[in-house]
Structure 1
Amino acid sequence: MIGQKQIQPTIPKYRRKESLTAWLFSTPAIILLTLFLLVPFVWAIWLSFTNQRLIPNPNLPTEFVGLRNYIRIFQDDTFKRGLLNNFYFIAVVVPIQTSLALVLAMLINQQLKGMNIFRTIYFGPVVTAMTVVSIVWTLLYNPGEGLINAFLQAISFGKLGPYNWLMDTKLVFPAIMLLSIWQGVGFQMVIYLAGLQEIPHSLYEAAQVDGANSWQQFKNITLPQLRNTTIFVVLSTTIMAFKLFDQVQVMTNGGPQNASMTTMVYVVEMGWGQLKVGYASAISIVFFIIVLFVSLIQRYLTREKGSAA
């Protein structure tokens, strides 16, 4: 009892000191997040109920317009096309990029000489600015002198191509998808590689003793052990896919005929191109709600069995 009475007063004091230290180190991040994330978001909500313009116009004073911007959104065909393209992009890019990343991670996880070189090669596009990547791929897609058309013509003996990839309404978005998969697969590959290296090798040794072949080991050991990694990769890739902007802005600016339009490109066009800040803010709020809803659904579907929803 005496020992307990001597120890008890020191525990709250230690916890208060620990809590104070934690808040001290967190304060700069909290201030920055408040200034550059929370305040702009709240301000955007207010602007979405007004007809605010980027440049003040004496003939068009800022007024409260209620839900007019939100009603207009659901009547806007360009917004619908951009949102549909976002979901189209996610439906194609996320599974392909995730699967390809897993395959590459398994290949370079081998204990062979020169694997670090391949890791660097695959990860190189990720650290390259998307603007630079987009310009390079624009040259590759050039219908007259681009290497992609030249390659297709060479392997098909002139029966395929040349294609005007970025000006054809049917080809432009698949072309952007191909660029995005190539540029982003290295990031998911590194995540999967870290997950693969955490799997105990004893599991594979036990499976080999039981006579399991490579496919059975992959199905019953690798995939279950990478479940949490896959959830993270799918969620992060989906969120990044919703933010599709740079490559579209540089290569097509949403054209031709809005065939490559995305929601983020349309927000910038409304806010900066047409100076309609109020309407652009309303689009941003609706888009945020949609992304949040999709993310929550994905998280629910990929939750651990037996855990709370």
Structure 2
Amino acid sequence: MVTPATILLVLFLIVPVLLAFGLSFTNARLISPNPPRFVGLDNFVRAFTADPTFVRSLVNTFVFAAVVVPLQSALALFMAILVNQKLRGVTWFRVIFFVPVVTSIVVISVLWDFMYQRDGLVNSILDTLTFGAVQGTNWLGNTDTALGSIIVLSIWQAVGFHMIIWLSGLQTIPEELYEAARMDGASAWQQFTSVTWPGLRSTMVFILVTITIQALGLFVQIDVMTQGGPLDSTTTLVYHAVQQGYRRQETGYGAAISLIFFVIVLVVALIQRWLTRDKD
């Protein structure tokens, strides 16, 4: 019964990982008359010593994750608490918040690209709210604002998905606990810290790990909106690996970057899991 799934996992997961591991130690190219040659750790040494774009992409990736993970998880929890109220029409708000998640990220990136232009919607809103006091800027063309603009877009697009996960966790907490807390005179904040947050522990672990993995794997928004620019201010590890491996046809070097990315994601996920473990 498990044979079909096992075959698919082997063909599309295990084999590609093994091939990438092997290629990372060679100078293989997509189109080359010469056969691949074993170069040892040269690709990894090149990444950290002779490729400033790789170092910049590494920094950008960690900055993106460091901002997105706490902000997105906190905003999603706040939204989940709001839509968990037993109010008339609250289902519509759940649907509205979730719509960006089921919309193609490519379509969303194109739309936000237009919004971020100098004559786009964002600058028009700022001009209206400030009565012309704030001059518009090309948000994606400015090295100081490009990555921040991608961060805002990414949080807006994905927060609805994690809101639903938080909501499912909230609905597993027995109402009797809140009634007991209210009878004891607990305030809303005390109910959250003593009842809600402890009841969301397993949900919190899942959300932190998934948001972190998604943040570290940022690619589509960069590929559609900025192509790593301006001046590599939005280049990420995944985008740089694709650039080197396919568009510049340096398959061996691209595989080495992918392997580095895999190790980073694995280490970060294990650290998060250890920090959020059940200490009892």
Q: What corresponds to 1:20 in structure 2?
A: none
> For residue 88 of structure 2, what is the aligned residue in structure 1?
113
Which amino acid letter does the alignment assign opposite residue 203 of structure 1? L
Specify the alignment match of 2:153 in structure 1: 179
Equivalent position of 1:19 in the other structure: none
1:195 aligns with 2:169: yes
2:229 to 255, 271, 287: 255
The 2-side partners of 1:37 and 1:297 are apart by 24
Deviation at 1:61, TM superposition (A): 3.6
- Counterpart residue type for residue 17 of structure 2: F
Match of 2:271 in 1: 297
Deviations 1:158-210 (A, max 9, x none): 11131110100000000000000000000110000000100000000001111
Pick aligned residue for 2:116 from 127, 130, 141: 141
Cα drift, residue 62 of structure 1: 2.0
Q: What is the CA distance between 1:97 and its match in structure 2?
A: 0.5
Counterpart code for 2:109: S
**Higher Rg:** 1
Unmatched segments (≥5 aa) in structure 2: none
Deviations 1:219-250 (A, max 9, x none): 11111111111111011000001110000100
Aligned counterparts of 1:227 and 1:183: Cα–Cα separation in 2: 24
Match of 1:220 in 2: 194
Question: How much has 1:113 moved relative to structure 2?
Answer: 1.0
CA–CA distance in 1 between the matches of 2:44 and 2:66? 26
- 2:29 alignment partner in structure 1: 53
User: Among residues 206, 223, 241, which one is paired with 1:232 in the alignment?
Assistant: 206
Q: Is 1:72 matched up with 2:46?
A: yes
Structure 2 CA distance for aligned equivalents of residues 208 and 65 of structure 1: 67
Within the alignment, does 1:131 sit opposite 2:106 as a pair?
yes
In 2, the alpha carbon distance for the partners of 1:270 and 1:30 equals 31
Whole-angstrom distance in 2 between the partners of 1:194 and 1:106: 11
DSSP 3-state at the match of 1:123: helix
Q: TM-score, normalised by structure 1?
A: 0.89
Runs of 4+ displaced beyond 4 Å? none
Distance 1:138 1:192 in 2: 30
Seq. identity, %: 51
Partner in structure 2 of residue 204 of structure 1:
178
Q: TM-score, normalised by structure 2?
A: 0.98
Residue equivalent to 1:166: 140
Give 2:102's aligned amino acid: V
Matches within 5 A, 1:74-89: 74-75=48-49, 76-89=51-64
Unaligned runs of 5+ in 1: 1-23
The answer for the alignment partner of 1:274 in structure 2 is: 248
Deviation digits for residues 67-90 of structure 1, max 9, x if unmatched?
111111111211111111111011
RMSD: 0.8
Q: Secondary structure at the match of 2:108?
A: helix
Q: Matched residues in 1 for 2:268 and 2:69: separation?
A: 14
Alignment of 1:19-58 (within 5 A): 24=1, 26-55=2-31, 57-58=32-33
Between the aligned partners of 1:252 and 1:54, the Cα distance in structure 2 is 25
- For 1:124 and 1:161, the matched residues in 2 are separated by 32
Q: Provide the rounded CA distance (Å) in 2 between the counterparts of 1:181 and 1:79.
A: 24
